Structure 1
Amino acid sequence: MAEHRSMQRAALLDAARSLLSEGGTEALTFPALAERTGLARSSVYEYFRSRAAVVEELCEVDFPVWAAEVSAAMEREVSPQRKVEAYVRAQLELVGDRRHRAVVAISASELDAGAREKIRAAHGSLVAMIVSALADLGHAEPRLAAMLVQGIVDAAVRRLELGAAEEPSVIADAAVAMVLRGVQG
Structure 2
Amino acid sequence: MPKITAPTIAEHVEVREREIMDAAMRLFAERGVRDVSIGDIADDVGLARTSLYRYFRTKSAIIHAWFDATMGPIIDECTAIADDVQPAAQRLERWLDVQLDVLSDPSNHAMIAAALEADDMTDRRQGAIAIQHQALYATLEQILADDRPVDDNVRARTIVISGLLRTLTDLVQHGIPPTAAREQIRVAINAIEPVADGEPRLAAAPNATGRS
What's the TM-score once normalised by structure 2's chain length? 0.71
Contact 2:157/2:192 (8 A) holds in 1: no
- Greater relative CO (CA pairs within 8 A, separation 6+): 1
Could you tell me which residue of structure 1 aligns to residue 49 of structure 2? 41
Could you tell me which residue of structure 1 aligns to residue 166 of structure 2? 154
How much identity, in percent, do the aligned residues show? 20
Q: Does 1:179 align with 2:189?
A: yes
Specify the code of the residue in structure 1 equivalent to 2:47: L
1:49-128 equivalences under 5 Å are 49-71=57-79, 78-97=86-105, 100-110=108-118, 111-128=121-138
RMSD over equivalenced CA pairs, Å: 3.0
Question: Matches of 2:159 and 2:25 in 1, distance apart?
Answer: 27
Contact 2:67/2:129 (8 A) holds in 1: yes
Alignment coverage as a number of residue pairs: 183
Q: Does 1:168 align with 2:187?
A: no
Report the CA distance between 1:74 and its aligned residue: 6.2
From 23, 32, 36, the equivalent of 1:15 is 23
Question: Matches of 1:88 and 1:97 in 2, distance apart?
Answer: 15
Contact 1:85/1:176 (8 A) holds in 2: no
User: Structure 2: 5+ residue runs without aligned partners?
Assistant: 195-212
Could you tell me which residue of structure 1 aligns to residue 37 of structure 2? 29
CA 1:116–1:97 in structure 2 vs 1: closer, same or farther (change >3 Å)?
A: same
What's the TM-score once normalised by structure 1's chain length? 0.80
Report the CA distance between 1:126 and its aligned residue: 0.8
**Max Rg structure:** 2
SS at match of 2:67: helix
